[in-house]
Chain A
């Protein structure tokens, strides 16, 4: 073959294009095909059980048609698997509504347990971003065996809740109660604590993440009507559409608890101001949280800005006589009370 730089270049771009289509992160054909191979019977069974479990928990009824719409599998496969599951006594029909048997519920709980434990693991022990937790846990829940799950749970210290605030079922199937109600149900001027952030559907969850709303933070509702819900939290004002706000669960706080109202985020501290730290937000997890504690970012410590950065970030904070630089997203997770 005769060499011609144009041909060589074209050939190169063709090969590069093919490789890109095959292997680009997440959407590459190679990964898609690999995932499709994964959707064997076990996965379908487990996904059906999980769906039914969630539906029954929220008091909804499911027939085969809705199930087929909910799951992203081949319709024929779902129908076949449902048939098999009735034979194996995992589910049964009440008229045309699908119900879990006791055995089916146990199985479903086990899957939910793995899913939430894995999300917890991703949050505490890895650096994956929040958007990815759910999908990764969806993959993992079909892979871990019973023993592996228990080892994982022990390794994480048998946590009670996953990072979104959903309860993790124990080995024996016990589930903690999530306190609180959906945010739109709270009247104006209620003070409460965010106890749960729903991570589905994806679009709404991403919106919540973009707002920088943190798990476990205190809020005060200042406006609640059919078009928008406004609340104050940690010195910032948040405005949400009711449909987004419905994904937040907030537990009211009893009157006896003293509410510190002028709590702010460290990121809002200005030069020359001093403040006292009142705590680290629940959003700071695992290694990062330990590091902050190690460095002395603890309740009661006095803090002020030591140096501002020529590029705007990070600022250096003077804490316990040492100058420590923190980035904005970290500073946002440290709560202070300005003097």
Chain B
């Protein structure tokens, strides 16, 4: 009886609702807003003699003007990147010296003093410790410089204007103007860039920004690019131009990354993501003086430390794996040598080699250790002099010596070019993958975002290698 009553009431309400029609909801909402606006107009007094933020308008006029808007933007972004890359060199080498050249031998001798078995000592100190130390030395300084600067710009209110200026470009590829910011953030660190996509409130554009963030060359990859460009591309031209040419090569790679970002964004928005809801709006908040110390503090804690911690957590097991594959033997070959030989054929097709592919597999946790791993594996496979022993990553102080080892490993200019391309187009590091999962809460998109760049990388390096071999 009771149920019947309720049913008939629900039935009646449905009936009435249907009769009222679709406009009802909109009218109600609009009515509420209109009433609220009326109340505000009646009760809140605004001093209309004071024009809205005079200074703001002046700044806005300049930073979004046709003549100055883009030059100012490029200048600021270039300065930030330059300060990061150049400025990070000094603390990085200091940290490297401390952690790798000083603490590492001390730990080794300490282990020897307490008669630690060689395998435990190798596993823990040469594997885990070295990988963690490397990641800290390479990763910490650029992040500690880049993030505070970026956060200061954000806090000041300049970054939304960048998104405003560039939105037109991003709209054409189906993305949101704010992706300009997350992309730039990606130049610092892809994981942080993925977190930064939270500022994009439209679901489709946010997914696009997350998936394509990997095409921003991150801090962990800049040093690789610069090193390889200096050794191989700089060597092609007269030495007077070599540093200029290698710099241009690196910039080309970064710009190519942006090209891939736009292309992939466009393709995604037209195919896989076309069903996702897409909205747009961009608030341009008033400028305010950045709260300097607070910003520095929060950017160090929120961005730098969290990312660094995640990187360490992932790098430690990677170090262990690297040591293990070089020291565990199947028959009379180490696992590393065996894998390299089986990957060599595929690597050759891509204009790379087995060492590089294996290095990228074990270095999924951190791009920073790619070069040390490549050097270690090359030395151990070719059997040339140098290096620090099986499974011990190392880097050389001299660029020339590094080049000699790589050339002994069979590297050519093609290998170098393709390594630079592959360094741009491969799966995101595990920190980023984990972050993508945390942000999207979707295994599907995480897997897609991880696999898609590698496939692109395979295709691009393959094509370059074939065409190169046909021409030369």
Contact = CB atoms under 8 A, between A and B. Distances in A.
Contacts, number: 145
Interface in B417-472: 462-463, 465-467, 469-470
A35 interface: no
Interface residues of A, number: 56
B30 A161 contact: no
A8 B349 contact: yes
B30 A12 contact: no
B165 A324 contact: no
A167 to B, nearest CB: 10
B283 A5 contact: no
A330 B465 CA distance: 46
A325 B37 contact: no
Interface in B154-183: 164-169, 171, 177
A321 B51 CA distance: 11
Interface in A129-158: 129, 132, 157-158
A299 B30 contact: yes
A295 interface: yes
B37 A301 contact: yes
Interface string B113-125: 0000000000000
A300 B281 contact: no
Interface string A295-339: 110111100001111111110101011111111001000000000
A309 to B, nearest CB: 7
Interface stretch (B269-277, B310-318, B336-344): B269-277
A227 B21 CA distance: 37
A291 interface: yes
B17 interface: yes
Contact of B281 (A126, A286, A312, A324): A324
Contacts of B275: 126-128
B284 A9 contact: no
B470 A309 contact: no
A25 B171 contact: no
B280 interface: yes
Contact of A127 (B61, B69, B274): B274
A38 interface: no
B245 to A, nearest CB: 26
B4 interface: no
A12 B164 contact: no
Candidate in B26, B65, B203, B270 with the most chain A CB atoms within 10 angstroms? B26
Contacts of B467: 5, 9
A326 to B, nearest CB: 6
Contacts of A301: 37
Contacts of A244: none
Contacts of B29: 293
B282 A310 contact: no
Given A8-B349, A128-B275, A330 B18 contact: no
B22 A159 contact: yes
A157 B14 CA distance: 9
Contact of B276 (A126, A176, A299, A330): A126
B346 interface: no
Contacts of A287: 277, 279
Nearest to A129: B274
B263 to A, nearest CB: 16
B167 A313 contact: yes
A251 B169 CA distance: 41
A235 interface: no
A288 interface: yes
Interface in B1-39: 14, 17-18, 21-22, 25-26, 29-30, 33-34, 37-38
A286 to B, nearest CB: 7
Contacts of A313: 167-168, 171
B60 interface: yes
B276 A127 contact: yes
A309 B168 contact: yes
A125 interface: yes
B288 interface: no
A318 B282 CA distance: 12
A157 B168 contact: no
B284 A324 contact: yes
B204 interface: yes
Contact of A293 (B33, B349, B462): B33
Given A293-B33, A327-B167, A310 B276 contact: no
Contact of A5 (B69, B201, B466): B466
A276 to B, nearest CB: 11
A311 B165 contact: yes
Contacts of B52: 318, 321
A298 B37 contact: yes
B34 A298 contact: yes
A6 interface: yes
B243 interface: no
Contacts of A158: 14, 17-18
A51 interface: no
A314 B30 contact: no
Nearest to A311: B168
A217 B309 CA distance: 56
B45 interface: no
Candidate in A287, A308, A309 with the most chain B CB atoms within 10 angstroms? A309
B291 interface: no
A159 B274 CA distance: 24
B295 interface: no
Contact of A316 (B34, B168, B284, B466): B284
Contacts of A129: 274
Contacts of B30: 279-280, 293, 298-299
Contacts of B277: 125-127, 286-287
B279 A288 contact: yes
Contact of B280 (A25, A312, A326): A326
Interface in A105-131: 125-129
Which are the 3 A-B pairs with shortest beta-carbon distances? A311-B168, A298-B33, A325-B282
Given A170-B18, A287-B277, A325-B284, 17 more contacts: A5-B466, A6-B470, A126-B277, A157-B25, A160-B21, A295-B281, A298-B33, A301-B37, A311-B165, A311-B168, A313-B167, A314-B282, A316-B284, A321-B52, A323-B284, A324-B282, A325-B164
27 contacts: A6-B466, A6-B470, A8-B466, A127-B203, A127-B276, A128-B274, A170-B18, A176-B18, A287-B277, A291-B201, A291-B281, A293-B33, A296-B33, A299-B34, A300-B34, A300-B37, A307-B60, A307-B61, A309-B64, A309-B168, A310-B165, A313-B171, A314-B282, A316-B282, A323-B283, A325-B283, A325-B284
Interface of B: 14, 17-18, 21-22, 25-26, 29-30, 33-34, 37-38, 52, 60-61, 64-66, 69-70, 164-169, 171, 177, 201, 203-204, 270-271, 273-285, 348-349, 462-463, 465-467, 469-470
